[in-house]
Chains A and B, each alone.
Chain A
Amino acid sequence: MAQTTLGPNFYQQVFADAPVIVCCLAPDGSTVAINPAGERLTGYRAEELTGHNFWRVLFPEDDYKQIVQSVLDTLKEVDLLDYEMTVTTKDGFPRIISWSLIGRYEGDELVEIIGFGNDLTERRQAEQERERLLHAHEHRSRHLQLAAEVATSVSTLLDTQELIVQTVEKIKEAFDYYYVGLFLVDETGEYAELRAGTGQAGEEMIEAGHKLKVGDGSMIGWSIANGLPRIALDVGQDAVHFSNPRLPDTRSEVALPLISRGQRIGALTFQSTAEAAFTDSDLAILSVMAEQLAVAIENTRLYEQVQQHAAHLEKRVAERTAELTAVNKELEAFAYSVSHDLRAPLRAIDGFSQALLEDYASSLDAAGLDYLHRVRTATRRMGQLISDLLKLSRLTRGEMHRERVDLSTLASEVLTDLATLQPERQLDCIIAPGLAVEGDIRLLRVALENLLGNAWKFTSKLPLAQIEFGQTEIDGERVFFVRDNGAGFDMTYVDKLFGAFQRLHAVNEFEGTGIGLATVQRVIHRHGGRIWAEGKVEQGATFYFTLQG
């Protein structure tokens, strides 16, 4: 290994090879010596500097005498003087140098100044670049955050006007623009109307009904017509667009179209007092915001339409309800008058027929008596029809009182009542236990009375009636049924079963008014259920029904 020694040329070597400026100056600032690094960095050769005042050459802009004086003064106070100062190279370029000066004294007298200079130019430039980037980045992220804030606020507002007014205010504040305005295309598609504008200028223009023709005449008109952004950065060349007397300080402007689902619905204008206020990054953010805003405007418009439809529907419903209520009232009045006024003449017909039979029987022959009996039979039947009709109408009136109802118990009670009336009949009856539902017990009793009453009636000609009440499941739905082995019916006429006064059997075969199943159907419908039937002539019938809830 080579032995490192401080040879006789060591100091000269260091002077020559040092990567920093090393110079020796006389106390008056004139250059005594400068090393090659010094030559390289300043651009001057040593000969060009030697004998000349160091500061006068390298700092031509400054008062070198003052520098010399201040250096000498400071060196009296300190051993080492550090400072940063920019030199001007021979080519005229600035270089940032970090200086360290040492004064060498003999006794109290300064004999020379040794200076070291470290070039910081590139480091400083890199630092500046970093600063600049950092600043740009901060600027951008601040705008992005503001854009996000705008986006959040636009997505929560449901009122179009509120949305656009708030948005232009937010953008103006966030980007510190001179003016922000929003135009929407009118119904004809010919004009863009100013719908929101910041500041007093905006207020006045809206007041004045400011609108621009969609087309090439204005930045807004052009932007909407072409569906593209338009930027005017230079006042001088694009002066025509900055002629708005209400916005005299505008020096640059951007117009961005508002496009939602391919429809050009309007445009935004951003105006600044700076001559080139809009960077690419600003434009990118504004464009994203314009896209979001366009969608938000469409949404609020749709929401408003839906609201209007809903209000309209509500009004229609209220009107129809009022109509229905009126009709129901009329119906009630009708039913009431039926119960009074139709019965009175019937009673007279029946009563006087009876009076005739009692008082004048001797004056009538057999046919006369028969006719009178027929009159009475018909009268009573009509009386029954009126009663049944009234019962049916009552079922649709009146409120439902929902409670837990045990249909099995109800069915047993109904069948027991029927059996009590005709104890001589043979009945084989199956009732599934514990079939409970939610419903109006009064109405459900009427339904079961009719269904089981029918089963009872239509099995009356059989030696052994079989009646079943139970539950089954069809397509996952709970279905109740009443089944009998009686007269049944022809499925051809199944549609007629549930109509009022519809009968599939002659009166002399099975009596009835034809109201029973219409009544049952009404009860089931009021419970939100359905009813249907299956049957075969002389092979019984099954009535199925569902109940909601």
Chain B
Amino acid sequence: MEIQQSQKKENIPLAQNEKSPPLFEVNHLALTFRQYEKGLRESNLRVIRNFDLSINQGEIVAVVGASGSGKSLLADTILGILPEHAETSGNILFQGKILTKENQIRLRGKDIVLIPQSTNALDPLMKVGKQVQSVVKNKHKKAVQERIFQKVGLAKDTSDRYPFELSGGMIRRVLVSTAMVSDAKLVIADEPTPGLDEQARDEAIQYMKKLATEGKAIMFITHDITAALEIADKVAVFYAGETVEIANTEDFSGKGENLRHPYTKALWNALPQNDFIPLKGIQPLPGESVSGCVFAARCPIATDVCTEDVPQLRPLNHGMVRCYHA
């Protein structure tokens, strides 16, 4: 663990006074897609540009962002399963070590696992038991899988069924159990809640919590702030491909006085149980070039400096914020 300290010299200081390096850390992550327009002219589509995040063992960090902010691609980037024309920069550290392409290939499915969002994530022509067993690395594949199915409340004969024979809720349980059978240290849950009724949603959230109490670090990607606040320790707010704020769960209270970034405040106050004030305008599209702060166009407190230079993420009040005026 000590060796890696030197690699981290460029890191921005962390908000928390951690003694050991976090289990998982993302610094200045950017993701662009190379595109060929007419003929051979190449253009770049920038989807993520300044993503920063850190997660400790046993911690749940929610990444909250609206649709189209690049959330799902974030998961793909960390796992290294992006299409070939994607380019990334910045660095991702896992257990203090830089997550290189080779490491990604070695670790994914083992130390880093994904809980996908879609119920289409299971192979339609393969029995679900088998699909879960493929994650188990030791010899007792079947036994391990059966035990987990029992744990999440799936009947024993479920493992011999095909995905089309299961309900949406059952499929989610199967997907969660793929994370539970693994010895993963980091679980990336890619929108596990949308489209679920309240009971199923609560259930899904409880599974996340259970995984965290087992000592796994959870990156909980969602657009559901309420769900995020129920279980997360920290909330990273993602806007147009950038982390604009990393807040603690307690900061989301009252009228959002403790929140640092104007976007987070707007998001909080837009909730029905709060002031229900919608935020006007739309977020910049992927590839749209923004010279300064990505939120400047919609920001109520933006000044000239906001449109000129990209603000850096800086620690503030036990959290982080990317804003000049916070």
Q: Do A and B come from the same complex?
A: no
- Which residues in A have some Cβ–Cβ distance to B below 8 Å? none
